[in-house]
Structure 1
Amino acid sequence: MAEVEPIRDFEDVKRMYNWLKVHASPREAECWLIGCNLALRAGDLLQLKFSQMSENHVTIIEQKTGKKKQFPVNKEVRQALVRLLAYYKSKNFKPTYLFQSTSNRMKGQRKPICIQWLGKALKKASWDLELGYNVNTHTMRKTWGFQAYERGEDIHHIQALFNHATSKVTLRYIGVTKRTIENMYHTNALEIA
């Protein structure tokens, strides 16, 4: 099976959001946006509750590490939260989780959508948009890392955020491959003469 990839072209990140908004639901679109902004593992992302979200920070206990993590909530995430609440209100639904299941099969239970549900939506979007990336729920986290790196963020800062042991692991994780490095020779050619 091919390695899950980040979305490297930022226009494709936006196209994913717009496709999800139209063809899946606003909930999945905002999940994509928030996932690409918070860089959380999908299991932690889907467990987020509105009660955890302050205007400035969110605090979680990471499922994988068991460590407490507090991080800022940026403007994009705050705006997505407003849109999510409007979406639930339009369905006459009071959510507990950011990405609450609204299925009638839940029989009043308060549960978030599952990773498999979100993964299917992301794969369908990628397929329909003909992006050519191997996409799943981990793509959101990897996309954040790749986009941060492309914008000039120090790899060691990204490494610390992901809690990786080495920067080499982080580079491989965010999809900075031999091909990416070779392309740097072309995109950073110094036009001296």
Structure 2
Amino acid sequence: MNQVEPIRNKEDIQRMYQVLKAKSERDYLLFKLAIHTGIRLMDLLNLKVEEVLKRDEEDIVSSWIQQCAPSIKIMLPEDLRSEVKAYIEANQLTYDQLLFQSLRTHKELSRQQAYRIIHQAAEELGLLHIGLTTLRKTFAYHAYKAGISIAIIQKYLGHQTTQETVKFIGLSTKEEHHTIIALNL
């Protein structure tokens, strides 16, 4: 089995958005929600509308993330929140339905279908070493690059050690040593 990598380049992420959105709003949102939350694939594929949209407030929540690290909150960007709401409305999804369904069977997407969606888009763009774990790795990599502590990312991902997280993200030792602490007390 080949080792998959995170998508490190933000331009490549934007290109993935374009390719996936041209094919299907569902595929685009599956990818976008995955890389913005780091949610496990099977949890993502089993998400119901009621788990992302509160009945009373009509707002997207992250209660489905709370299983792994209840003290960590993931803030979804406003544009993503709006896109998910619009997708739910456009597809007339009810609270008890799956957010991401097979168009043919109206059941959850299989891992194989999800893999085909992501892999074909990446292949079209010439991106190598892309698979389903890429989604979580991309989330973790960009969280780290945004300044989130590796220990917090480790806890969120459910890893035993920070070394496991560093390896998972695919950080090289060269990247790790570029941390600068500049205090002016």
Is TM more than 0.5 here?
yes
Higher strand share: 1
Match of 1:137 among 94, 111, 132: 132
Distance 1:73 1:115 in 2: 26
- Residue 20 of structure 2 corresponds to which residue in structure 1? 20
Q: 1:76 to 1:111 in 2, by over 3 A?
A: same
Offset of 1:86 from its aligned partner? 4.4
1:43-62 to 2 correspondences below 5 Å: 43-53=42-52, 54=54, 55-60=59-64
Root-mean-square deviation (CA), in Å? 2.6
Unaligned runs of 5+ in 2: 181-185
Tell which has more relative contact order, 1 or 2 (C-alpha 8 A, sep 6+).
Answer: 2
Distance 1:87 1:176 in 2: 40
Equivalent pair of 1:36/1:141 in contact (CA under 8 Å): yes
Distance 1:173 1:40 in 2: 15
Q: 1:96 to 1:69 in 2, by over 3 A?
A: farther
- Residue 11 of structure 2 corresponds to which residue in structure 1? 11
- Residue 108 of structure 2 corresponds to which residue in structure 1? 112
Whether 1:162 and 2:165 are equivalent positions in the alignment is: no
Query: TM-score normalised to the size of structure 1?
Result: 0.77
Query: TM-score normalised to the size of structure 2?
Result: 0.80
Which of structure 1's runs of 4+ aligned residues deviate more than 3 A?
A: 67-73, 178-182
- 1:127-178, CA deviations, whole angstroms, 9 ceiling, x for partnerless residues? 110123x111221111000011111111111111111111110011111134
1:75-94 to 2 correspondences below 5 Å: 75-89=78-92
Distance 1:114 1:159 in 2: 27
Unaligned runs of 5+ in 1: 189-193
Q: 1:49 to 1:125 in 2, by over 3 A?
A: same
